[in-house]
Amino acid sequence: MAGISSSSIIIFATLGKPKLQARIRAVDPNEANSQVNSLLVRSGDQQNQPNTGNTFVDDGDNYDSLPFWEEVRAIIKLMFSKRMMILLPQVFWTGISLAVYTGLLVPIITDTIPGNDDQDKFMKSMFAMVSLGVGEMVGGLFIGQIIDRYGNRWATVANIVMIIIQSAIAIIYIVIYEYSWLAFLMTFVWGFADSANCTHTSEMLGFEFDNNSQPYSIDNLGQAIGAFVFEIIEAWIYGKNTYLIFNIVVGGLGVLFNITTLFFTFKPMPRELEKRALRGTDIRLRKGSYIGSMLDSQKKSLNVEKTQSVSESQAEVVSRKKSKISS
């Protein structure tokens, strides 16, 4: 472990300075039309070039980072925004799940192992926890495929189903209260669901907002609060009956906290962007963002102008025909 830690320190010491992330800036109303039109016609190659407008900067080199206290205020403002408030319960759930599998699963499994040899009990319980690590590896891959193929909304449904399954298996294990293969299944499913939920949460915070540094800060804070609170509660949880009641409550909270995510306004998937003729544009042009709404209004105004020009041309043609007939 010391060798791994030392090598990690050496590797991180060789990392270069990270590029600052682009931030959405206020758009000058006098320049809005020209900027929107330029965004609509930008090709894929042009997007790799530095942005000359003042809406957003892709390379992250053309703006100054926010001072510390301004960054804190921005994070607090985002935390209590309408969109983030919908996701906060799922963020808290990641902390609750962390607290359960780190602080409660091992005592539950240990209590179900017969005998008085505490060292043997601990060894067997930790052996069962190996399945949790396997579940953590598989769960993230699974939810990634769901997100790519079906989108975030169906990924949320999958998370809810997995929470129900993991809670049901844990409750069954506590009711039986015997060390068996069910202990390995319980830890595997818990790790599977936890990894899927954490991966989905990170994906939403990274891609559903105009920048990801502030949402990730909120994620770390919310997860820490959830884990802290439930680790304290677990200090008073002991015995079969309390284990059973606690797992029922936690399972109910998990389902409830993830159902709220279904009310989140997700950005469209790439195939939906293609239908809207937005493929190849910046991801922040998706529906729900400031620039995306500006694009929608600009498109409507362009359609109105086209309709007016067509009607005017038709009227001109009719007037010409009338003049010819009269002559």
Domain range list for the chain: 78-266, 267-306
Alpha-carbon gap, residue 229 to 232, rounded angstroms = 5
Give the global pTM.
Answer: 0.66
pLDDT of residue 62: 41
pLDDT of residue 309: 66
32, 294 contact by CB (below 8 A):
yes
Q: How many residues does this entry show for the chain?
A: 327
Superfamily of domain 78-266: MFS general substrate transporter like domains (1.20.1250.20)
> Look-up: residue for tokens 């799940």?
97
- Which amino acid makes up residue 162? M
281, 36 contact by CB (below 8 A):
no
131, 185 contact by CB (below 8 A):
yes
56, 284 contact by CB (below 8 A):
yes
Each of the 327 residues of the chain gets a pLDDT tens digit; together they read: 788 888 888 887 787 766 655 444 444 444 444 444 444 444 434 333 444 444 444 444 444 567 878 888 888 898 898 989 999 999 999 999 999 999 899 999 999 998 888 888 889 999 999 999 999 999 999 999 999 888 899 999 999 999 999 999 999 999 999 999 999 999 999 999 999 999 999 999 988 888 778 899 999 999 999 999 999 999 999 889 999 999 999 999 999 999 999 999 887 776 666 666 555 555 444 444 445 555 566 666 666 566 666 566 666 766 776 666 665
Helix, strand, or coil here: 128?
helix
- Which amino acid makes up residue 98? L
Helix, strand, or coil here: 62?
coil
Residues 6+ apart with CB under 8 A from 259: 160
Alpha-carbon gap, residue 136 to 153, rounded angstroms = 21
Alpha helices in the chain (DSSP H): 2-13, 32-41, 68-79, 82-103, 105-111, 118-150, 152-176, 181-207, 213-234, 240-259, 270-275, 290-326
pLDDT of residue 266: 85
| Terminal CA-CA length for the chain | 99
pLDDT of residue 5: 80
